[in-house]
Structure 1
Amino acid sequence: MATNAEIAGRFEEFADLLAADDVEYKPRAYRRAAENIQAHPVPIGDRVEAGDEQILEEIDGVGDAIASKVVEYVETGSIEELEELREELPIDIADITRIEGVGPKTAGKLYRELGVQTLDDLEEAAEAGEIREIKGFGPKTEENIREGIEFAREVGQRHLLGEGRPLADDVLAFLESLEAVERCEVAGSIRRWRETIGDVDVLVGTEVGEDVIESFVDWESVDSEIESGPEKASVRVGEIRVDLRVVVPEEFGSALQYFTGSKDHNVRLRNYAIARDMKLNEYGAFDVSTVDDPESDQRVGERVAGETEAGMYEALGLPWIPPELREDRGEIAAAESGDLPDLITRDDIRGDLHTHTEWSDGNTSIEAMVDAAAALDYEFYGVADHAEGPGIVGGMGLSDTEILEQIEQVREAAAASEIAVFAGIEANVDADGEIGLTDEVIEALDVIVASPHSALDQDAGTATERLVRAIENPAVDVLGHPSGRLLNERSGLEFDARRLGEAAAEHNTALEINANPRRLDLWGSAVQAALEEGAPISVNTDAHQPSTLEYMRWGVHTARRGWAEPADVINTWALEDLREFLH
């Protein structure tokens, strides 16, 4: 089965190779189609396989030509035109363009000038000083490319949470349908909701493990079997590896705790146990106070817990610790002292303050986006299309005149809606921390999200002061995606999160967790540091169409990784309190 992410990935590659070949216009159309396919709420591959090709007519940006390619890919596993492009430009385009500053056009030029096809080729050319000799490059560009190769190699081995978690949900749904499965849950980094994952880890409690494994490797969604045995199996679904482990039901809780991790959390917890004459492992919690050699066997001592995960913590006198907190950032000490946070949930969210429409680079009208927000039972919703400024691709930012015109339309949409609708803008934080809006525009707006989109290679000190200046600007309500990173594509700005938190607390400016799964910016540790300084947080989707309002799921779990409680997040506040904050 071709997943939405897999199909979208082919059109992203199409766009990159066309851009590398200096083709105009087409790449943008393919990227738009890829984004909408990725975000579509229905599994497109399943529907096309079942003969329902009309599903493609529902997807904005998917015309007849692209639709025929989707059908071709679902039916054959390849697209002839894409294969021809790959032969013409045999470039590992996804790997090479992960290097900051190396886009498809640059990758194409490096191939034509130096024959660069892979990261190894690129590294060899950089080490030999060949890149600086190409017109328009130079020593500085060559050095930046050389330094970015290690990052590109590292991220190339990981998948976005937004790609892995939907697959994990499908795996769980399949396993839960098996009569032999008594309990099942994801484990590893995906259960801790890390922004990227290596693979999907799944744990099953069953008395007939071999039957479950046989059913798992025969699942219709599996593309290939990597390995299988009596207790575990690994398969590949699309581009993602899925690892299944089966245990007896009475050891499910201890195995779930052990395989969820993180490694640092588990080491800290085991040491906590040792100090109390206890032994923890994947088989249970054991009282070893009367045992001469606790390391003589995995199951030595009196087993006091293991059937449930909560019991593993209770055996140590601790409350259950939510998976998102298990990163060894003080969670065990907080559990011991009774100070674990009451974490935010998706149900606490009352609205979204950073979204886009067709006025800039979104795909839908203001009215349609407002209706979609109302359908989520939100109490408020904010339009924040791009203003003109550095880093906005394709001239999609709005001029002052256009902003004022849009505000009028937002007011009309608000008058027709049952929810509060804020007229906002996403202003650009330039290299000096300025946002480039006139007083007239600032006065007319309800909410200003200020985000960096350019100069993302500044050093940490310069970047921190730049972002602090934006936070200190009395017009700015929310500092949007502070690092400007794109996961697996560019690392973005480094900064002192505590310094940002101090400034945000002092100037009543919210720091954004951008819930787009390609960003998740801020991330858990940065959120935690900012909250410790008293900063308010805002969780926003940066949605460009109605379906991507569902990105809020990723943002909420990222907030949980940062120890955020509902009161810390302005999206949970009562409308009158939010209005006061924005004013």
Structure 2
Amino acid sequence: MATNAELAARFEEFADLLEADDVEYKPRAYRRAAEAIGAHPAPIADLVNAGNKEAIEDIDGVGDAIGSKIVEYVETGEIEELVELRADLPVDMADLTRVEGVGPKTVGTLYRELDVRTLDDLEAAAEANEIREVSGFGAKTEQNILENIPFAREIGERKLLGEARPLADDVLAFLESLETVERCEVAGSIRRWRETIGDVDVLAATDEAEDVVDAFVSWDSVDDEIESGPAKASVRVGEVRVDLRVVVPEEFGAALQYFTGSKDHNVTLRNYAIDRGLKLNEYGAFDVSDVEDHEAGQRVGERVAGDTEAGMYEALGLEWMPPELREDRGEIDAAADDTLPDLLTREDIRGDLHTHTEWSDGNNSIDEMVAAAAEQGYDYYAIADHAEGPGVVGGMGLTDAEILDQVEEIREVGADADLEVFAGIEANVDAEGEIGLSEDVIDALDVIVASPHSALDQDSDAANERLIRAVENPAIDVLGHPSGRLLNQREGLAIDAAALGEAAAANDTALEVNSNPHRLDLWGSAVQAAIDEGAAIAVNTDAHSPATLEYVRWGVHTARRGWAEPADVTNAWELEELREFLH
């Protein structure tokens, strides 16, 4: 059965192939649909199987034509028009566009001019100095492409959290539906909510291991069985590998702790256990204080824990640690000292300070976005469309005059809304750390998010000087996606999160956790470093449609990886407290 992530990927591919062929308008429509499909809370394939065409077409950006393609893909596994586009442009679009600076149009041009189809072809063309000879390119572009190919190869095997976690949720739902499964949970990096993952690891507790394995490899969503045995199996669902391990119920807690990791966390925890006469492994916690040969077997000594994961930590006198914290960044000492953070939850989020509308590159009106925010139960909400400036996609940034016109419309919509609506803007932090807004505009706005969109290849010293200058600007409330990275596409600026956090704290400027799964910027360790310096964090979605307001899920877990508590997060504050913070 096709997952939402798989469907979204097909329509992103549609958009890329059309853009590569210089088709206007349609690519944006397909991207809008892909975004909504990927964020849809329920399996769209279920709507197809139920014959609920109306519900499919009600999905934002879908409509009749795209809805028909969704049905075609779910029922047949292909979309005929997409197959034809692939035949016309036989390139590995996903691999090629992972190279920073190579977009769909570049792929189309290099295919037509140099027959570049794969990363290997691209590398060979660059090394032979052929790209610089193509009209519109040059030696510098060619060199940048060549330098970025190794990074594209490195990240090619990892999937975005926002793509893999919905699949993991589907796997869990399937396993929970099996009567023989007593408990199940994801493990590994996906349970720790890392921004990218290699594969989906799942654990199931049962006394009927072979039956569960057989059911798993026969699941409708499975495309290929990679391997299987009496107590484990690996399959491919779409483009993602899913590994199932089956354990007996009394060892589920130990296995869950062990296979969640991280490796560094587990090594430190095992050493902590050894100092206390205990041995930890995937089968349980064992008292080996009276055992001479601790290595005589995995189950040597008296078993004191293993049924539950919490019990594994309790056996060591430690609090249970949320999976997001298990990166060996001080969580074991904090658990021992009873100082673990009271982490942020989705329910703590009271609003969103960075979203877009059709005034710039969003897909919906101000009215529609405000209504969607109200449905989220928010107390407050900000429209922050792009101001014009370097790096803004497609020249869609607003002039000062347009910003002032939009402020008027935001005020009108806000007057009738069930929540506080802030008039904001996403300004551009240029290479020197400045923003190009007039004083009239600054005075008219409630919230200014300032983000780097260009000069993202600066060295670390220049980048940090630039961003610190930005947070010192009294007009700026939030520094948006501070590194400018795009996961699996570009690395972004090399920032010193501690230095940036110190400057932000001194100037009452929040640092953003951009919840878009392609960004997750800041990331866990950077959030922790910034919070340690006293900085406030803003968990924003950067939503471009109502569906993508759901991206807050990824932002919350990313903030949790940085030890963020509600008091650290501006949009978890009461309205009046937030008002006092805004400049």
Q: Quickly name the TM-score band, shorter chain normalised.
A: over 0.9
- Deviations 1:169-207 (Å, cap 9, x if unpaired)? 121122122221111111011100011111111111111
Corresponding residue for 2:429? 429
Q: Which runs of 5+ in 1 are unaligned?
A: none
- Deviations 1:240-270 (Å, cap 9, x if unpaired)? 2211111111111110000000111111111
CA contact (8 A) 1:96 1:118 kept: yes
Bigger drift between 30-39 and 516-525 goes to: 30-39
Corresponding residue for 1:494? 494
Corresponding residue for 1:194? 194
Secondary structure at the aligned position of 1:354 is classed as coil
Kindly indicate whether residue 40 of structure 2 is the aligned counterpart of residue 43 of structure 1. Answer: no
Corresponding residue for 1:3? 3
Corresponding residue for 1:224? 224
When the two structures are superposed, what TM-score results if normalisation uses the length of structure 2?
0.97
Corresponding residue for 1:277? 277
CA contact (8 A) 2:161 2:195 kept: yes
- Deviations 1:258-309 (Å, cap 9, x if unpaired)? 0000111111111221222221110111111111111121111111111111
CA contact (8 A) 2:206 2:249 kept: yes
- 1:328 CA drift (Å): 1.2
Question: 2: distance between equivalents of 1:231 and 1:82?
Answer: 39
Corresponding residue for 1:169? 169
Secondary structure at the aligned position of 2:353 is classed as strand
Q: Which amino acid is the alignment partner of residue 430 of structure 1?
A: D
Corresponding residue for 2:182? 182
Bigger drift between 291-300 and 82-91 goes to: 82-91
- Deviations 1:211-266 (Å, cap 9, x if unpaired)? 21122222222222222111111122222221111111111111000000011111
Corresponding residue for 1:472? 472
Question: 2: distance between equivalents of 1:255 and 1:379?
Answer: 41
Question: 2: distance between equivalents of 1:275 and 1:57?
Answer: 61
- Deviations 1:456-487 (Å, cap 9, x if unpaired)? 12222111111111111100000011111221
Kindly indicate whether residue 560 of structure 2 is the aligned counterpart of residue 560 of structure 1. Answer: yes
CA RMSD of aligned residues (A): 1.6
Corresponding residue for 2:387? 387
Q: Which amino acid is the alignment partner of residue 249 of structure 1?
A: P
**Alignment size in residue pairs:** 583
Bigger drift between 460-469 and 475-484 goes to: 460-469
When the two structures are superposed, what TM-score results if normalisation uses the length of structure 1?
0.97
Bigger drift between 390-399 and 248-257 goes to: 390-399
Kindly indicate whether residue 259 of structure 2 is the aligned counterpart of residue 259 of structure 1. Answer: yes
Corresponding residue for 2:537? 537
- Deviations 1:519-548 (Å, cap 9, x if unpaired)? 111100110111111111010111122222
- In the TM superposition, what are the counterparts of 1:338-487 in structure 2 within 5 Å? 338-487=338-487
Q: Which amino acid is the alignment partner of residue 558 of structure 1?
A: T
Question: 2: distance between equivalents of 1:113 and 1:195?
Answer: 36
Bigger drift between 86-95 and 557-566 goes to: 86-95
- In the TM superposition, what are the counterparts of 1:203-218 in structure 2 within 5 Å? 203-218=203-218
Secondary structure at the aligned position of 1:522 is classed as coil
Corresponding residue for 2:314? 314
Corresponding residue for 1:53? 53
- 1:119 CA drift (Å): 1.1
Corresponding residue for 1:578? 578
- 1:365 CA drift (Å): 2.1
Bigger drift between 359-368 and 534-543 goes to: 359-368
Bigger drift between 512-521 and 17-26 goes to: 17-26
- Deviations 1:299-344 (Å, cap 9, x if unpaired)? 1111111111111111112111110011111111222222211111
CA contact (8 A) 1:60 1:363 kept: no
Q: Which amino acid is the alignment partner of residue 576 of structure 1?
A: E
Question: 2: distance between equivalents of 1:71 and 1:182?
Answer: 35
Secondary structure at the aligned position of 1:122 is classed as helix
Secondary structure at the aligned position of 1:179 is classed as coil
CA contact (8 A) 2:39 2:551 kept: no
- 1:139 CA drift (Å): 3.3
Q: 1:71 to 1:242 in 2, by over 3 A?
A: same
CA contact (8 A) 1:472 1:503 kept: yes
Corresponding residue for 2:14? 14
Q: Which amino acid is the alignment partner of residue 522 of structure 2?
A: L
CA contact (8 A) 1:501 1:533 kept: yes
Q: Which amino acid is the alignment partner of residue 104 of structure 1?
A: P
- 1:493 CA drift (Å): 1.6
- 1:63 CA drift (Å): 4.5
- Deviations 1:20-63 (Å, cap 9, x if unpaired)? 23333332232223223223334322222332233343134334
Question: 1: distance between equivalents of 2:408 and 2:499?
Answer: 37
CA contact (8 A) 2:539 2:556 kept: yes
Secondary structure at the aligned position of 1:427 is classed as strand
Q: Which amino acid is the alignment partner of residue 150 of structure 1?
A: P
Q: 1:19 to 1:471 in 2, by over 3 A?
A: same
Corresponding residue for 1:62? 62
Secondary structure at the aligned position of 1:355 is classed as coil
Corresponding residue for 2:125? 125
Question: 1: distance between equivalents of 2:19 and 2:358?
Answer: 23
- Deviations 1:351-378 (Å, cap 9, x if unpaired)? 1111112222222222222222222221
CA contact (8 A) 1:48 1:55 kept: no
